[in-house]
């Protein structure tokens, strides 16, 4: 991972899922509540996720997923699946927590920009690592989702900073490219150590 611009960053914005949080057992955990295998659950899950991330309800999302899977819908099953899903995407890795803390301790403004559900947005703000975040941007609340150009322009406006002072890290190339098009200094996430090295290289973290 190499810097795409030399501009000094005033804020570091992270994606949440697959960047700070890595829920490796999510689909297996969901499938444990269902008669279907994890692969089938994953397919049905992503077939309906966009509307949920844009502010839809857990009821509507899981009803669609369970209907695809041919599984009866019950309130208790929806509650269980929602809990598993929310916890998986808001439990960040220890190395990610350490990175957020290091940035915060250095006086760096730190934000999260995530395609996420209303339950995730609420849960994330209540986590121990939330104390290191100064700016929150969730698709469910904005009714906009990456890689829509409008979401990056909205965030830039809310930050009240020049676009090229935003350093953004995301695991999806399409989201990174859209951020670059919006004038941000954007980078593709590959690993926690690579991210720490990048932030050290651009002077936001002290060398270890």
Instruction: Identify whether 76 is part of a domain.
Output: yes
Cβ contacts of residue 33 below 8 Å, gap of 6+?
77, 80, 81, 84
Query: Along the 208 residues of the chain, how does pLDDT read in single tens digits?
Result: 434 443 578 999 999 999 999 999 999 999 999 999 999 999 999 999 999 999 999 999 999 999 999 999 999 999 999 999 999 999 999 999 999 999 999 999 999 999 999 999 999 999 999 999 999 999 999 999 999 999 999 999 999 999 999 999 999 999 999 999 999 999 999 999 999 999 999 999 988 6
Q: Are residues 115 and 68 in the same domain?
A: no
Query: Which residue range forms the structural domain that includes residue 107?
Result: 11-22+92-201
Q: Is 0.75 surpassed by the pTM of this model?
A: yes
Residues 191 and 101 in one domain: yes
Q: Are residues 118 and 40 in the same domain?
A: no
Indicate if 59 and 141 belong to the same structural domain.
no
CATH number at residue 122: 3.40.50.1000
Please state the separation of Cα 40 from the chain's center in Å.
Answer: 23
Residue 6 lies in a domain: no
Residues 15 and 110 both lie in one domain: yes
């Amino acid at each position: 991972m190499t810097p795409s611009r030399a501009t000094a960053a005033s804020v570091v914005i992270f994606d949440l899922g697959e960047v700070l949080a890595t829920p490796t057992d999510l689909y297996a955990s969901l499938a444990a509540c269902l008669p279907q295998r994890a692969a089938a659950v994953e397919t049905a899950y992503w077939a309906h996720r966009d509307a949920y991330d844009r502010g839809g309800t857990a009821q509507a999302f899981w009803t669609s997923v369970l209907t695809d899977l041919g599984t009866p819908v019950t309130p208790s099953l929806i509650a269980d699946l929602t809990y598993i899903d929310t916890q998986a995407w808001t439990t960040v890795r220890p190395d990610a927590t350490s990175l957020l803390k290091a940035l915060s301790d250095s006086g760096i403004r730190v934000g999260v920009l995530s395609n996420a559900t209303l339950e995730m947005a609420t849960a994330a703000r209540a986590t121990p690592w939330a104390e290191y975040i100064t700016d929150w941007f969730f698709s469910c609340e904005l009714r906009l989702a990456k890689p829509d150009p409008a979401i990056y322009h909205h965030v830039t406006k809310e930050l009240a900073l020049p676009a090229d002072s935003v350093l953004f890290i995301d695991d999806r190339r399409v989201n990174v490219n859209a951020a670059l098009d919006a004038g941000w200094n954007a980078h593709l996430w590959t690993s926690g150590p690579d991210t720490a090295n990048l932030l050290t290289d651009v002077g936001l973290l002290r060398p270890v």
